[in-house]
Structure 1
Amino acid sequence: MSTGAIIIVVVVAVVVAAALAVRVVRGGAGRRERVLRRHFGPEYELSVAEHAGDAPAAHRELEERLARYRELRTGPLSGELRERYVAEWAGAQELFIESPERAVATGDQLLARLARDRGYPSDSYAEQAAALSVHHARCVQGYRQIHNAAARAREGLADTEELREAVVHARPFFEELVKPPHHGEVHQVPTPAPRTTHRSRRDSGRWELGLGHTKKGGAW
Structure 2
Amino acid sequence: MTVLIVVIVVVVVLLLAGGGLVLARRKRSEQLQESFGPEYDRVLDRSGSKNEAEAELAERRKRHQQLDLRSLDPQTRERFRGDWKQIQGEFVDDPGGSVDKADSLVTTIMRERGYPVDDFDQRVDDISVEHPRVVENYREARRVRDAYRNGSAETEDLRGAVTSYRSLVDALLDEGGDGHDGGGSGDGRHREDDGRHRDEGRPVEGRRDEPRGAEGERAGQARQEREAGGPPADGAHDHDGSRR
TM-score, structure 1 as length reference: 0.67
Q: Indicate the structure (1 or 2) with the bigger Cα radius of gyration.
A: 2
Confirm whether residue 38 of structure 1 aligns to residue 19 of structure 2: no
1:47-97 CA-partner distances (Å, limit 9, x unpaired): 11222x322221111111112112322112122221221111111112221
TM-fit CA distance, 1:41:
1.3
Tell whether 2:113 aligns with 1:121.
no
CA separation of 1:64 and 1:174: change in aligned 2, threshold 3 A: same
Shift of the alpha carbon at 1:131? 1.4
One-letter amino acid of the counterpart of residue 111, structure 1? V
RMSD: 3.1
Is residue 91 of structure 1 aligned with residue 121 of structure 2? no
Work out the CA distance in 1 between the residues paired with 2:16 and 2:74. 58
Q: Where does residue 98 of structure 2 map in the other structure?
A: 103
Which of 28, 37, 49 is 2:45 aligned to?
49
Q: Report the Cα distance in structure 2 between the residues aligned to 1:76 and 1:24, rounded to whole angstroms.
A: 39
- Which one-letter code corresponds to 2:39 in the other structure? E
| Contact 1:104–1:163 (Cα < 8 Å) also in 2 | yes
Over 3 Å counting, the alpha-carbon distance change for 1:23 and 1:152 in structure 2 is: farther
**Normalization by structure 2: what TM-score?**
0.61
Residue-pair matches, total = 177
Pick closer, same or farther for the CA change 1:183–1:74 going to 2, 3 Å.
closer
Q: Which runs of 5+ in 1 are unaligned?
A: 1-5, 189-214, 216-220
Percent identity, aligned pairs only?
32
Using CA pairs below 8 Å that are at least 6 residues apart, which structure has the higher relative contact order?
Answer: 1
Q: 2:21 and 2:175 mapped to 1: Cα distance?
A: 44
Change (3 A) 1:79 1:45: same
